[in-house]
Structure 1
Amino acid sequence: MSDLSITDLLFAYGAWVSDDNNELGCKSPSLMLIKSAPKLCKDSAKASKRRVVSFISDDDALAVDRAMNRLLRHSVHLHNIVTYFFIYNWSERKIARDYWSGFEYPCGTKEAGVYHVKPLLNQGIGFISGALCRDIA
Structure 2
Amino acid sequence: MFRQKPRVCYLEGECKRADFIIAAATAQKKVILCIEMKYRKGKPPEIVQQLRGTRCLLSYCQEIGRAFWDKQDFLKGYAYRFISIGNLSIAKQKTRIERQSAKHDCPERMLKIDWPNSRIEFNRLSGKV
Q: In which range does the TM-score fall when normalised by the shorter chain?
A: under 0.3
Rg larger for: 2
Higher helix share: 1
Higher strand share: 2
Please report the TM-score for the alignment, with normalisation by the length of structure 1. Answer: 0.25
